[in-house]
A and B are shown apart, each in its own frame.
Chain A
């Protein structure tokens, strides 16, 4: 939601790096992508547990947190961190609720473009909305439907979220990675989905 600004030079270097990485990996999302979207769209809701590891310069080991990630079509998404410090991010449409340290804030998602990038990536993927994803992100597809990887790079310049990487098998998403500037990233490993 908030972030320190980054030096201009670093930013430029990072942008170049991202472009170089992208050049090799990105391939136009074609038929398997469309099939994946259809698979995901068919699944209306799901709840999984996650273990998240956050990496950043200065950290001697990743920050580990865990909790529950839930989605219900068309647009309900919640990420509840239970450990080590409880905190919640709940979305219903554009309405965003943030709970942390006994405080609750009701906010509009569109007022926080950085969070919106993350939420859009997750929600449109889980909902199987390939068209919406294509509008918001440059999409890279790797692998097969049984073992796929998606890279979503925000089309909008200046987003603090540099890239979101998703990996899974069929309609099961197994890994979500959010990459910010200077190598800072959070990787979520998801359990197999249970019924809501």
Chain B
């Protein structure tokens, strides 16, 4: 009696500690559970870019409805409001005012920014050539628009500065603001100061945009609509959806389970007590995750539904097989059935343990949560639950159900050769679909709905801001060194553009040349006296009066004396935000990022870009394609998941072999499980589902959970009909829990559910059909 009290006491104490840990744990529902930990420096840079890079801070705002003029008015109003808020580092809507600020900056600093400024250009011959070219441009159609600045910029330095930006795929404009391709929406580009991975800050930014939009609409009295896209919008929506779904799915599967158990037990006490191991397991699981990982991912809680399916089985075995408090307390069930349950529990632990080394934080958490949860639930069932049963405890006798099931199975067993056909058929289907079996896109795990992805693609295309794209990364110890590296990298990149291998590229050095380069350009400029003398000679025969070029001479002299352009000089232009995105501090060093634009006739040949950099050893550059890199990273982890699943399977087999001490008996347990996995994989392929990482994990769970059933059949039981009934009930609980998960709109949860729900059912069926003797016909082994 004392030991019993001690067991309950220890349980209560541990539960109390776990409850405190759960209450104090940090919970996160952002998307980082879907972003793998990255081992190499390049992959760390990639994940860092995805989480915190400039692209992660971008929000696209689309104003629809009303008239074009009303949309433009709202766009202008919205931009003004948002620019006044500190949380936004840049707000662009294509307005002429913003364009004028950018133009004014480039014009004011044209001699320090122009790549054409060399000593040669300012010789008599150089001046004559460049001025001649400028006059040619002015005579071309539309050239008159540049004519007003002729006396300030006769060498066409502004053309050179703008030319360095390449042909700009500028967004369309209607009524003076950016619009989508169809012209039916006004567009704004908004950059937040906080990174995209800071979901709380993104949620506040989105709320601020909505509020500003409502005010703008109220002022204009237009019936306009608002749509937003971008990583922040996705993160916030996904968090809301994951949180909503986790709560909804947990409540739903919990309710369904209660109904199932109420029908089975017809006892309120049994119903309440059945939840004790489940609740203990969940509590222990969350506490263990909080202890080990610091942060509990919302998705882990969603996966946690899976635990309910497994943990409730233990109490089902106890209640159904022993039926009364007396029998449960008595050592009979513990002697005959517990070793089987225990072994099943350990095979499950083996399966879950295989997930621990996963590079996906979400999976590692799932493994740890389920492992501790299953152990806790099993131990509570064995040592605590019997002590809690009231003396009068009794559940409905499920023997009739067991007997009925046994008869049905007996009939089915006659046709068990069909299973060979099933196995062959499944293998044929899988072979036939071998090319399209796997989904190798990281996006497959993304909880962002298709419609939202399409909207994002459409708005990005209209604005010319690719989502991921190709990138040259240059690292250096200081900001200036990174800028100098970017300047050296421009040489091979310009050559690639000239050869048509690239459409263009961006570089932080376009907006902010290194101090060294600016100094060189200043030194290339002649003094006012020298320039005047050279101009007189250079302009002979040209229709330009040297006496009228005083503004030019003064501008060159100013540029010679000017302090170099620095980050502060960019304030108020759109280049400031662009620079901050392209020149980033990364720990102790600086990275210059040079996004590449594809040529008009197809994608970028990255091998050629790499080769170009290989030929210029002065530049140590990393060339990467963010999307491809992300997918490759994912493919690596897909491979890793397959390996982990196989390792888990191997661990299960080894454990079974060690306990059963017979290859044949081990095979009998494993065969139905393998067949169930095969059938589910083939069925998914037939339904056109491309397998993701979570399907693989689901297959591992089929083995982990199904091994319980197979073991009961293999080891036999003292009360075969009751055992069969308990297995049926336990299986129904599992299928129910995972079936609910399969209805989720979050892909990771759905993939897991749609694999395990049918897999668990098939595992039981196959185990029953492949059992050495008809269920109920075998003596305890």
Interface residues of A (CB under 8 A from B): 1-6, 52, 54-65, 79, 81, 84-85, 87-89, 94, 100, 105-108, 110-115, 118, 156-158, 160-161, 178, 180-186
Contact = CB atoms under 8 A, between A and B. Distances in A.
A4 B152 contact: yes
Contact of B141 (A3, A5, A81): A81
27 contacts: A1-B145, A3-B145, A3-B146, A4-B148, A6-B149, A56-B147, A57-B148, A57-B150, A58-B151, A58-B544, A58-B545, A58-B548, A59-B545, A61-B543, A63-B543, A87-B140, A88-B141, A100-B140, A105-B167, A108-B172, A111-B168, A111-B170, A111-B172, A113-B173, A114-B145, A160-B145, A180-B144
B96 A184 contact: no
Interface of B: 96-97, 100, 103-104, 107, 135-136, 138-154, 158-159, 162, 167-176, 179, 183, 543-545, 548-549, 600
Contact of A60 (B104, B183, B543): B543
B545 A54 contact: no
A56 B147 CA distance: 6
Contact of A112 (B136, B170, B543, B600): B170
A1 B142 contact: yes
A5 B103 contact: yes
Contacts of B174: 110
A2 B176 contact: no
> What does DSSP make chain A's interface, helix, strand, loop or mixed?
mixed
B176 A156 contact: yes
A112 B154 CA distance: 23
A108 B144 CA distance: 20
Contact of B549 (A56, A58, A65): A58
A105 B154 CA distance: 24
Contacts, number: 134
B176 A58 contact: no
Nearest to A178: B144
B145 A2 contact: yes
A63 B96 CA distance: 29
A45 B149 CA distance: 36
A56 B139 contact: no
A30 to B, nearest CB: 25
Given A56-B150, A60-B543, 12 more contacts: A1-B142, A1-B146, A4-B153, A55-B147, A56-B138, A81-B140, A88-B141, A89-B141, A105-B167, A111-B173, A118-B142, A158-B96
Given A87-B140, A113-B173, A106 B600 contact: yes
B167 A186 contact: no
A58 B175 CA distance: 34
Contact of A56 (B107, B148, B167, B170): B148
A181 B149 CA distance: 9
A84 B760 CA distance: 81
Nearest to A114: B145
Contacts of A157: 96, 176
Nearest to B154: A58
A85 B154 CA distance: 18
Contact of B158 (A4, A115, A158, A180): A4
Contacts of B543: 59-63
B142 A54 contact: no
A2 B162 CA distance: 8
Given A106-B600, A108-B172, A115-B142, A4 B149 contact: yes
A113 B72 CA distance: 15
A114 B142 contact: yes
B302 to A, nearest CB: 45
